Structure 1
Amino acid sequence: MTSQTPNVPTADQIRRAPKVLLHDHLDGGLRPGTIIEIARQTGYDGLPETEPDKLGIWFREAADSGSLERYLETFAHTCAVMQTREALFRVAAECAEDLAEDGVVYAEVRYAPEQHLEGGLTLEEVVEAVNEGFREGERIARANGHRIRVGALLTAMRHAARALEIAELANRYRDSGVVGFDIAGAEAGYPPTRHLDAFEYLKRENNHFTIHAGEAFGLPSIWQALQWCGADRLGHGVRIIDDIEVGQDGTVRLGRLAAYVRDKRIPLEMCPTSNLQTGAAASYAEHPIGLLRTLHFRATVNTDNRLMSGTSMSREFEHLVDTFGYTLDDMQWFTVNAMKSAFIPFDERLAMINDVIKPGYAELKSEWLFRQTATTSGSTPSEG
């Protein structure tokens, strides 16, 4: 990665740049060492490795294996160690710490409360433990010189039958750290329309929700999420590319669904590395995010599952910078897109954009210009 092209950031600048994350799974981002420690404390003996480095490699290799069975097994292990209040609190706090250390200033982290009841917790106890963990992580981040705000998205599993219950839970805690609702799980055979009662309830309550759509399944999944369910955002949404034609002469024609998504500024929660693992894209160069950026869709950059993908927001942007030559201006564009699309009040989003994000990028651009000027003049910029 070089800085010869104007504003192309270094890896260090990418890490320090203020970033916004909208699509991150709590059970997909644990520290390997934490998994091992909690497993020992709770008596869970199903881990494939008991050394942090080896366990981290196992998670990444299992997610990269192309085997759905092995991929799902990774979440069986993380969920297995997230069944007590103490474990949920710790995992949530470390999540906030890790994101802040990576330069994330605002994050929405999702999890399915129904998957954390095996130890006897109630749904409410799960939500309260995670919310308290996020607040603790924010506090520790501040003490370490970082700022971050984390909101929770409560997820219902599309193959289960608790969506309305989870939607009601999300509404009940909407002023206590929960910012919205989501459904996740296999798209094929489990359309979002199975949970219309949950979405109708959330709309009546003027609450926010996103839907995993257009990842493993195609345009019908996106259409149903938007037109039948009324989703505010699309989780992944990569298959919107199927409704875009690029001619041999470079001309672009948008189908009616793609045009609707762009015209309505519907946010796309894109997760490049994860999309490669699941086969939704063949390579970073072929990922739809490149074309969608050019066409000015409301595209955002996300991590999905940091442990399974061996990734972070900084690594996602490094891949995009290396692949597409993105500059600090491009990074700011993606980041502002994400902040505009967050599920918090408008004035709070605007404050984050004007008081945190834009000044942060302006400082990095000035730093880049200073170094380029110093290099051109033959002098060496001093540190500090």
Structure 2
Amino acid sequence: MSAAVPPLTLEAIRSVPKVLLHDHLDGGLRPATVVELAAATGYDALPTTDADELGRWFREAADSGSLESYLETFAHTCGVMQTEEALVRVAAECAEDLAADGVVYAEVRYAPELFAERGLSLDAVVEAVQAGFAEGERRAAQQGKNIRMGTLLCAMRQHARAQEIAEVAVRYRDAGVVGFDIAGPEAGFPPTRNLDAFEYLRTNNAHFTIHAGEAFGLASIWEAIQHCGAERLGHGVRIVDDIKTGPDGSVELGRLAAYVRDRRIPLEICPSSNVQTGAAASISDHPIGLLKRLRFRVTVNTDNRLMSGCTVSSEFAALAEAFGYGWADLQWFTINAMKSAFIDFDQRLDLIDNVIKPGYAHLV
């Protein structure tokens, strides 16, 4: 007689392999680390130096319903990440925290230009973060948790450094930088402002994703895919605006939604973050339910673990409660993410066949 399948408790979900594609380094600091780094680097603008209170402040400040207000919280995390020592520490703790949550592969992104305000070069920023990720992988392995970290370098869409950041991403492609992204406010800053950078990446066979379809609608998704050539969509949740659901439950996909689904373009969906920024009213109302039912290439992500007070496991738990998902659904999300990663095909297949599927074998 086979053993009973355990319920989807948060603790049980932490124990299975997970894959994370959309997580911001400067959105995942430990509150205590923010306080200690502020003291060490002379940053004096924190709203409080009590770690517990600070953690609450970040979550409440991010809970505004506005992407612009949400983004303002990053002034404090970026403010304490202006030295090589701080970057190494934050990156190492990031890898450790993700591994402790059962993440076996993560692509963590950040904008190097945001950490260069005190004189660090872009290369120095990248090398410090890579050193931190390597240290975090080593510490996690010592605790019996294996994680592989990949890096995505972001350009800020409101600035004019996308070409420069794209060149850094290509320069460090063999040192753990697996791709490129543009981030920041969508409204008024379309991805087509950075066409030169995307053309450069394509001609160098480099991978990139684009934040699109979060605060802004279908136009940003269409531009990201058809003009810029994005391989994945950061968020992409507004693709639901191109899907009509009839009163009888029938569904009709518009041409853009059909294209995204047919081409298996991955959606890097971040449920709790979408609720905070007003892209969804609640987890139970989140379009991920419909998108999964229609078999879009949906992946589940954290976006900013500090601001949302979340982990991959807690996102899975919230979705399971809202939509009745079981272990097979969690495995489906995880394999989707691994298939969509920016590392080599052989490496993706190895993690799917030798880590992820065995990790769910007794559950599905």
TM-score (norm 2): 0.97
For residues 10 and 122 of structure 1, what CA distance do their matches in structure 2 show? 44
Q: Percent identity?
A: 71
Q: Deviations over 1:103-135 (max 9, x none)?
A: 000000000000011221100000000001000
Q: Which residues of 2 match residues 195-274 of structure 1 at below 5 A?
A: 195-274=194-273
Q: Is the 8 A contact 2:62 2:308 kept in 1?
A: yes
Distance 1:269 1:349 in 2: 17
SS of 1:175's equivalent? Answer: helix
**Aligned letter for 2:165?**
I
2:115 maps to 116
Task: Assess, with a 3 A threshold, how the Cα gap between structure 1 residues 68 and 237 changes in structure 2: closer, same or farther.
Answer: closer
Give distance in 1, aligned partners of 2:69 and 2:45: 14
Partner of 1:87: 86
User: In 2, Cα distance between the equivalents of 1:67 and 1:296?
Assistant: 29
2:324 counterpart of 1:325: yes
1:179 correspondence with 2:139 = no
Kindly state the Cα deviation for residue 364 of structure 1 after the two structures are TM-superposed: 3.9
Aligned pair in 2 of structure 1 residues 68, 260: CA closer, same or farther (>3 Å)?
Answer: closer
Residues 273 and 302 in structure 2, CA contact (< 8 A), matched pair in contact too: yes
Separation (CA, whole Å) in 2 of partners of 1:219 and 1:65: 23
Query: 2:122 & 2:293 partners in 1: Cα distance?
Result: 43
Inter-partner Cα distance in structure 1 for 2:269 and 2:70:
19
**Contact conserved, 2:270 with 2:303, CA < 8 A, in 1?**
yes
**1:158-190 Cα deviation digits (max 9, x unpaired):** 000000000000000000010000000111110
1:330-376 residue CA offsets vs partner (Å, 9 max, x unmatched) = 000000000000000000000000000000011344xxxxxxxxxxx
* Larger Cα-atom Rg: 1
Equivalent in the alignment of 1:306: 305
Counterpart position of 2:362: 363
Report the residue type matching 1:150 in the other structure: M
* 1:117–1:239 Cα change, 3 Å: same
RMSD: 1.2
Aligned residues: 361
- Looking at structure 1, the residues matched to 139 and 322 of structure 2 have their Cα atoms a distance apart, in angstroms, of 35
Alignment partner of 1:274: what SS? helix
Do residues 189 (structure 1) and 185 (structure 2) align? no
1:158 matches 2:157: yes
| Long gaps (5+) in structure 1 | 366-384
Q: CA deviation at 1:71?
A: 2.7
Contact 2:179 2:342 in 1 (8 A): yes
Structure 2, unpaired ranges of 5+: none
| 3-state SS of 2:73 partner | helix
CA contact (8 A) 2:67 2:215 kept: no
Aligned to 1:38: 37
Match of 2:169 in 1: 170
How big is each residue's C-alpha offset from its partner over 1:299-357, in whole Å with a ceiling of 9 and x where there is no partner? 00000000000000011001001001100000000000000000000000000000000
**CA pair 357-168 structure 1, distance change in 2 beyond 3 A:** same
The residue matched to 1:34 in structure 2 has which SS?
helix
CA offset at residue 12 of structure 1?
Answer: 1.7
